[in-house]
Amino acid sequence: MTRTSWRDHDWQLIHTDAQMPVQHMALDAVLTDEVGAGRRKPTLRIWEWAAPAVVIGRFQSLRNEVDAEAAQRHGIEVVRRISGGGAMFIEPGNTITYSIYAPLSLIDGLPFSEAYAYMDEWVLAALGELGIEAWYQPLNDITSAGGKIAGAAQVRRSGAVLHHVTMAYDIDAAKMVDVLRIGREKLSDKGTKSAAKRVDPLRSQTGLPRASVIEAMISTFRRLHGLHDDALRPQEVADAESLGLAKFSTPAWTADVP
Amino acid sequence: MHGEYKMPGGKLAVIDLEIRGDRLVDVRLSGDFFLEPDNALHMIDAALEGQPAALSPPAIAGVVAAAVPATTMMYGISPDAVAMAVHRAVHGEQDA
């Protein structure tokens, strides 16, 4: 395999309607496979959420990570994603999440640690332009002097790499610790002191509305790597809906690691 | 029984298990690590099932390493880290 560069690819942007949590999980699987099969060009997808969710990593214990009773009380759906890494607490508007679906050639030969940093160089540049000095903290975090900003996860399948990242925009820390079984040490790792009410590095450090931060990120990606506006195809949506029903909404999947 | 081990420079390996007749049973590995292909997780669980509870950490690490294909990619976790989590679960030691 010959290593490709960002500019060797014709990058597509998907930033469309808000999706339900299960559909987000399924879209990541479907779009990774579509790019791997060459039916879709390499793509950046910015997520918008239609409902709150806890997204646990592929190998996390459902019981150990999530207080099911608290999640139900807050009306929060629990879903499991296809990549490893830690749990994310999502409420519409509280995070910025994106996925990059790329041919494996983009990171061919890179050790894991470099592959993570390489996929997010554009984000560090975007954050810099927004006035946040951020850097990669191995294994899979983006951090700043003010604390952790984001966590990334990668999975390689069917000839493609999925690299997705969730960035903390303005998280209700009290609700998060109510739903996630998260230690004080971990909370501090997420960029706050245990007494803090909000984990809001992007909001507090940019002073910008969430939509403006996303706009700035897209503009940086477009300038650095090139980017054409695209949309989900009806077949991709239908495939994701089927996969959501067959897999991502089932207890067999969500409790695969009970 | 529950044991956790944070691999230095890596992620958390968590083991939940029971001991029956000096053997490990109902062994479940979990954590915020990365593992490809993902079915390696259940291969590791299956390989640890029924192992003697008295097994040393290096021996447990050997069981874990032999449980998965050589091409398996581990990031933020290692056979040694899993072995430490098993050891802590068996001996009731706190993560330190």
Task: Please judge whether B31 and A82 are an interchain contact, meaning their C-beta atoms are less than 8 angstroms apart.
Answer: no
CB contacts, 8 Å: A139 with chain B: 9-11, 34, 75-76
pLDDT of residue B96: 46
Query: pLDDT for A207-242, tens place per residue?
Result: 999 999 999 999 999 999 999 999 999 999 999 999
Cross-strand pairs, A154: A163
How sure is the predictor about A185, in pLDDT bands with cuts at 50, 70 and 90?
very low
CA distance A12 to A210: 21
Give the chain B residue nearest A154 (alpha carbons).
B34
Domain borders along chain B are 2-91
Residue of B75, B77, B95 to mutate, testing the A interface (most A Cβ within 10 Å of its Cβ): B75
Provide φ and ψ at A45, rounded to 5°: -120, 125
CB A68 within 8 A of CB A78: yes
Residue of B32, B64, B68, B74 to mutate, testing the A interface (most A Cβ within 10 Å of its Cβ): B32
Query: pLDDT for A13-46, tens place per residue?
Result: 999 889 999 999 999 999 999 999 999 999 999 9
Q: What is the mean pLDDT of chain A?
A: 94
Task: Please judge whether A59 and B30 are an interchain contact, meaning their C-beta atoms are less than 8 angstroms apart.
Answer: yes
Give the chain A residue nearest B7 (alpha carbons).
A139
Min Cα distance A107 → chain B (Å) is 15
| B36: nearest CB among A57, A86, A155 | A155
In A58-77, the residues whose Cβ lies within 8 Å of chain B are 58-61, 64
- At A24, the amino acid letter reads H
How sure is the predictor about A206, in pLDDT bands with cuts at 50, 70 and 90?
very high
| Alpha helices per DSSP H over A107-200 | 112-119, 121-129, 173-179, 184-189
Task: Please judge whether A85 and B34 are an interchain contact, meaning their C-beta atoms are less than 8 angstroms apart.
Answer: yes
How sure is the predictor about B94, in pLDDT bands with cuts at 50, 70 and 90?
low
For tokens 């081990």, name the residue.
B5
Query: pLDDT for B37-90, tens place per residue?
Result: 999 999 999 999 999 999 999 999 999 999 999 999 999 999 999 999 999 999
Domain B2-91 matching CATH 3.30.390.50: the answer reads: yes
Mean pLDDT of the A169-196 span: 72
pLDDT of residue A31: 98
CB B83 within 8 A of CB B61: yes
CB distance from A181 to chain B under 8 Å? no
Residue pairs between chains A and B whose CB atoms are closer than 8 Å:
58
| B41: nearest CB among A59, A85, A154 | A59
Residues of chain B in Cβ contact (below 8 Å) with chain A: 9-11, 14, 16, 28-36, 38, 41, 73, 75-76
Contacts of A165 by beta carbon, 8 Å cutoff, 6+ apart: A97, A98, A120, A123, A142, A150, A151, A152, A153
How sure is the predictor about A190, in pLDDT bands with cuts at 50, 70 and 90?
low
Query: pLDDT for A123-175, tens place per residue?
Result: 999 999 999 999 999 999 999 998 899 999 999 998 999 999 999 999 999 89
Contacts of B3 by beta carbon, 8 Å cutoff, 6+ apart: B14, B15, B17, B84, B85, B86, B87, B88, B89, B90, B91, B93, B95
CA distance A211 to A242: 30
Min Cα distance B59 → chain A (Å) is 23
A178-187 — which CB contacts under 8 Å span 24+ positions?
A178/A67, A178/A70, A178/A74, A179/A54, A179/A66, A179/A67, A179/A70, A179/A71, A179/A74, A179/A76, A179/A89, A180/A54, A180/A65, A180/A66, A180/A67, A180/A87, A180/A89, A181/A64, A181/A65, A181/A66, A181/A67, A182/A87
Task: Please judge whether A84 and B76 are an interchain contact, meaning their C-beta atoms are less than 8 angstroms apart.
Answer: yes
pLDDT of residue A197: 79
Interface predicted TM-score (ipTM) of this complex, two decimals: 0.96
